[in-house]
Amino acid sequence: MQMLNSINNLRVAKYFKLNEFACPCCKKVMLHPKLLAKLVELRKTLERPVMINSGYRCTKYNQEVGGVISSYHCIGLAVDVIVKDVDLLVLLEVCENLDFNGIGFYEKKHFLHLDVRPTRRARWRG
């Protein structure tokens, strides 16, 4: 596990390290390049840190947090993000303009789910 932890500490983009996307349960990571590119674009647009609240999830962890069986988190296509000092509706509008395929608005928990699903666009409130 020590080797996995040091590999996950690698910087994968100017603003992100691989370990930010790791499953809290097993420390494994799956991260689609298109998702990473969109997150870098989001970070540049906002000019402030984008915190990954939930990235890759192994099947076990996804079940523990109540994720759907077909969650895009389980295949490296989704993240949940928090951006401090940015109104959630403003963040939603920015993400809409960046054309994320999937956007979930979780107002009570104050985060957005963002994904690059290969199918049609999806929008929802959680």
pLDDT digits (tens, 9 = 90+) for 45-83: 999 999 999 999 999 999 999 999 999 999 999 999 999
The 10s digit of each residue's pLDDT in 6-35 is: 666 788 888 999 999 999 999 999 999 999
pLDDT at 39: 98
Nearest to 13, CA basis, from 5, 21, 4:
21
Question: What pTM was estimated for this model as a whole?
Answer: 0.91
Please report the domains of the chain, with CATH numbers, ordered by start residue: 2-125 (3.30.1380.10)
Could you tell me the pLDDT band of residue 114, with boundaries at 50, 70 and 90? very high
104's enclosing H/E stretch is: strand 102-106
pLDDT at 69: 93
Structure token digits, residue 9: 């500490």
Nearest to 107, CA basis, from 122, 121, 95, 91:
91
Could you tell me the pLDDT band of residue 109, with boundaries at 50, 70 and 90? very high
52 phi and psi angles, rounded to 5 deg: -85, 110
